[in-house]
């Protein structure tokens, strides 16, 4: 069973589930950037599904994760702090896993426009993910794989799907190495 977290959630419960359920994954994501944190529990403890770093208990709800200090917060959230980089704090909360059906995935496909970047994007479905093509550069195309609910990743980028109150897709938030949180609104063609 896969469990997912988004920067800011009930992690203490998730941690207990991870430790007692070997080979279980837990996804967390940062609410500001949507960056995922995939945690895997096995017989040796909890580790990152991406970096392999282990979550090491220090006591009093404090942990070490690679070079970062981790504090469990109320509501199952996790706070990450990089020592020496004061003011750099990221919280993670639990998020649902990506369980979109092929039909729901197809509902994301379409045309999107970013006025800020003065660019148009074409999104198609492929291999259980989304292929993003910049319309002005048809040879530039990237396949994004599911990360968690309405979020898709590549090695250096992310797409988050924006939905209206009725659940309809209204836009995308795009991030990569040099672009943070670029909004692209859905356009009818």
Q: What is the pLDDT of residues 93-119, one digit of tens each?
A: 777 778 888 999 999 999 999 999 999
The CATH number for 177's domain is 2.40.128.50
Which of 32, 65, 94 finishes a domain? 94
From residue 24, alpha-carbon distances to 4, 21, 46, 157 in Å are 10, 6, 10, 25
The answer to whether residues 82 and 135 belong to one domain is no
Number of structural domains found in the chain = 2
Neighbours of 67 (CB within 10 A): 10
Q: Cα separation of 5 and 142, whole Å?
A: 25
Q: Which domain holds residue 137?
A: 102-187
Which of 34, 64, 94 finishes a domain? 94
| Total-model pTM | 0.68
Which of 72, 94, 116 finishes a domain? 94
The answer to whether residues 89 and 23 belong to one domain is yes
Q: What is the pLDDT of residues 42-68, one digit of tens each?
A: 777 788 877 788 888 888 878 888 888
């Amino acid at each position: 069973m896969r469990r997912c977290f988004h920067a800011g959630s009930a992690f203490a419960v998730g941690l207990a589930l991870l430790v007692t359920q070997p080979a279980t994954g837990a996804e967390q994501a940062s609410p500001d950037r949507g960056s995922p944190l995939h945690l895997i529990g096995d017989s040796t403890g909890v580790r990152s599904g991406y970096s392999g770093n282990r979550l090491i208990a220090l006591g009093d709800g404090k942990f070490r994760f690679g070079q970062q200090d981790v504090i469990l917060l109320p509501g199952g959230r996790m706070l990450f702090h990089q020592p020496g980089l004061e003011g750099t704090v990221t919280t993670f909360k639990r998020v649902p896993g990506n369980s979109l059906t092929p039909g729901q995935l197809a509902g994301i496909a379409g045309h999107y426009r970013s006025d800020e970047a003065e660019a148009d994007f074409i999104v198609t479905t492929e291999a259980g993910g989304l292929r993003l093509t910049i319309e002005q550069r048809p040879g530039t195309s990237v396949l994004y794989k599911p990360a968690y609910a309405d979020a898709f990743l590549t090695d250096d980028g992310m797409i988050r799907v924006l939905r209206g109150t009725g659940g309809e897709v209204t836009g995308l938030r795009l991030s990569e190495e040099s672009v943070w949180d670029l909004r692209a609104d859905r356009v009818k063609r």
